[in-house]
Amino acid sequence: MTRNERHVVRDGDKWKVVAPGADRASATASTQGEAINRAREIVRNTGGGEVVIHRPDGTIRDSDTIAPGNDPNPPKDKK
């Protein structure tokens, strides 16, 4: 079973939403915020999973579990 995930990565002056192993981007945006929102929408529409957000240098900044995905590190506080 493969995880449903999308990565938000910088490509030149654009931000791309890419699936691991894909030949082309799922979406392209001019800002990181727009790309994150689009990645969340794509993952939500395909049954939930992970959105992995990268910094411009390629390192991972954050990840976000989209319901009904299985969060590997759920928050300890249940606010």
Tens of pLDDT along 13-32? 999 999 999 999 999 999 99
H/E stretch holding 51 reads strand 49-54
Q: Tens digit of pLDDT for each residue in 33-65? A: 999 999 999 999 998 999 999 999 999 999 999
pTM: 0.83
Give the phi and the psi of residue 77 in degrees, each rounded to 5: -90, 135
Name the helix (H) or strand (E) containing 39: helix 32-45
